[in-house]
Amino acid sequence: MVNFMKFLCLMLLSIFSFNQTAFSKNLSIDETIFKDVDGIDFKLSNLPGKIILIVNTASNCGFTKQYKELQELTSRYSSADLSIIAIPSNDFGNQEPGSNAEIKDFCESRYGITFPVMSKQIIKGQNKHSFYTWVEDNYGSKKLPTWNFHKYLINRKGELLHSMSSHVAPSSKKFISNIELSLK
């Protein structure tokens, strides 16, 4: 019985140690690559900002008006401080059915978007983009988006600073406070 208890304690300790290691893993900014709406490889390491805001987006969503607020953030915080990228996805409510060219046209003509927009990505399920796999592996499935316009603030070291749901508007005090605290 004593040997079994020692074995059980060692197993629990190894599981706990594994989870502690998993939660401390930083995103590799140099190795995280998306394709932009024009089909060109886009590395997060090429972004100039001190912090990176990654937002999964959709053109036909009730939260689509957040594009305007994201563009205002781009204007308010120079690219030297904050870099935003949009990750369009059709995974929630089929609200991004268009082609990459249609997404690009929508973002530019409707909202005057100047921040990078990636090609449409899968962000849930087994074939999700490696960024979302990193989120799940290191922070659990509860940190994955449950709808369009989920936001992640990441610093240049690859540390996840904040994960904010669709309901947290980019113009809200909470959101602005998270950005300003992250920039310090």
Position with higher pLDDT, 156 vs 20: 156
- Report pLDDT for 14: 41
Which residues are catalytically annotated? 61
8 in any annotated domain:
no
Name the residue type at position 62. G
Q: What is the mean pLDDT of residues 15-39?
A: 70
- Name the pTM for this structure: 0.84
pLDDT at 10 over 90: no
How many structural domains comprise the chain? 1
User: Would you say residue 9 lies in a domain?
Assistant: no
**Residue with token string 């308010």:** 76
Q: Is residue 93 within 8 Å of 61, Cβ to Cβ?
A: yes
85 close to 52: Cβ distance less than 8 angstroms: yes
Q: Which residues touch 31 (CB under 8 Å, ≥6 apart)? A: none
Give residue-wise pLDDT tens across range 113-159: 999 999 999 999 999 999 999 999 999 999 999 999 999 999 989 99
34-77 pLDDT per residue, tens: 999 999 999 998 888 899 999 999 999 999 999 999 999 999 99
Residue 11 lies in a domain: no
| Domain presence at residue 19 | no
Residue 135 resides in a domain: yes
Percent of the chain with pLDDT over 70: 87
- The confidence score (pLDDT) of residue 30 equals 83
Range list of H helices, the chain: 2-23, 66-76, 100-111, 130-139, 173-183
Asked if residue 63 is part of any domain, the answer here is: yes
Range of the domain at 130: 27-183
Residue with tokens 């904040």: 162
C-alpha to C-alpha distance for 20 and 15, rounded to whole angstroms:
9
Residue 3 included in any domain: no
The verdict on residue 85 lying in a domain is yes
Cα four-point dihedral sign 41, 145, 131, 155: positive
Do 42 and 118 meet the contact criterion of CB atoms below 8 Å apart?
yes
Rounded distance between C-alpha atoms, residue 53 and residue 36, angstroms: 16
CATH number at residue 56: 3.40.30.10
Q: How far apart are CA 73 and CA 92, in angstroms?
A: 25
Mean pLDDT (the chain) is 87
- Antiparallel, parallel or unpaired: β 82-88 and 51-57: parallel
Res 2: pLDDT: 52
Q: CA–CA separation, 26 vs 181, rounded Å?
A: 19
